[in-house]
Amino acid sequence: MSTVRGKTLGDGNLSLAQLDARYSAKAEAGLLAASYFFTASPMAQTTATTGSGTLRLLPWVVRNPLTIVRLGAEVTVVGDAGSKYRLGIYADTGTCFPGALVLDAGQIAGDSATVQELTISQALQPGLYWVGGVAQSVTTTQPTMRTVGPSWTPPVPLSLGASIPGTGAQTFGFLQGSVTGALPANFTSTATISGTCPRLFVKAA
C-alpha cells in the first residue's frame, strides 16, 4: 500500500504517472470493451471552427492492442449545406510527429449540429497515433466543432521547431493545409497548432 496526496492506494509504491499508465492500460485491455471514450478529454472543452481544408491532429497513446469500431466527433453549429468534416488516424514517425496514414474514416455531415460517428474496423497496436480531422466542401461557413483547447496537455513532448519560441507560445498538435479530398498518405507539414483541434471519440470492439 502507498499514500499519494493523502490517499491510500492499493498498487504498491507507484507514482501518479505510473498509476495513470497502469489503469489506462487496464482500460484498453478490456474494461472499456464495447464502450466509447475520448482520445483527448481536457478539463475544459470549447467550440471553434478549425479552418476549411486544414487538417488538425492531436497525439493519442494506445497502450494495448485495440480494435476500434466507431470514430466520431460533434458538430455544434452547422456550416454550409453540404459541408463535411473528414476524420482520420495517422501513425507516428517515431519522433513524436505524424507520419503515414492509418485510416481515412470518411466524412460526417458539417450541416447537422449533432454528435456523429462513422462505422469502421481498425486494429491498432500499442504506440503513439495522431487523430483529428478537416472541414471540407465549405463555400462560406465552416461547421463549428466541439474542440480540445490549448489547456489540454499532450501525452508526449512536441517539437516547436529550430527557432526560439515566441512569447507565450504553446502547441499541442500539428496542422496541414490544402486537404480538400481524401486524407494524404503521409503527413508532411511541420506547422504546429496554437488554437484548437476537433475532439474525437472512439468505440472499442
Three-state DSSP string of 124-145 = ECCEEEEEEEEEECCCCCCCEE
Pick the CATH number of 34-161+169-204 from 1.10.3470, 2.30.29, 3.40.50, 2.60.120: 2.60.120
Asked whether 46 and 197 are in contact (CB, 8 A), the reply is no
- Angle (CA) 154 158 161, round 5°: 150
Distance CA 1, CA 10 (A): 5
**In the chain, how many H helices and how many E strands?**
1, 15
Query: Cβ contacts of residue 18 below 8 Å, gap of 6+?
Result: none
pTM, two decimals, is 0.85
From CA 152, how far away is CA 86, in angstroms rounded? 22
Question: What pLDDT does 184 receive?
Answer: 98
Domain chopping of the chain, boundaries: 34-161+169-204
**pLDDT tens digits for range 51-99:** 999 999 999 999 889 999 999 999 999 999 999 999 999 999 999 999 9
